[in-house]
Amino acid sequence: MLNWFNRKKAFQSVSAEQVEGFLLTGEGQALDVRTREEFASGHLPGATQLDVQSVDFVRQLEKLDPEKPYYVYCRSGGRSTRACQRMTDQGFKQVHNLVGGLGGWKGKIVTDS
């Protein structure tokens, strides 16, 4: 158990402004790790939804390209931090956690309606 707390963070934390810039240039994919219901109520444009609390989260990750940059977010940053760690554990190379989650996002939000 002590090893988990001592392991080095293998992903980067990035600001909303940085994520917005990367997404505008097409560099990477926004990954929303909230529930489907939360995603439907509002998410970043073009985001893919994978619920980090789902039992098949790791299996769903296998469908993604581990070489592609991902900008991971949730509501406030807790779930996305867990998702980023799981992704790096699975061999993803370019994983970025949105600081403050969707709560820190000032850009466009889209809904599924």
What is the rounded distance in angstroms from the CA atom of residue 98 to the CA atom of residue 12? 9
**DSSP letters of 33-95?**
-S-HHHHHH-B-TT-EE--TTSTTHHHHHTTS-TTS-EEEE-SSSHHHHHHHHHHHHTT-S-E
**Structural tokens at position 90:** 């699975």
Query: Among 31, 61, 74, 87, which one carries the catalytic annotation?
Result: 74
Establish whether 74 is a catalytic residue: yes
Active site positions, annotated: 74
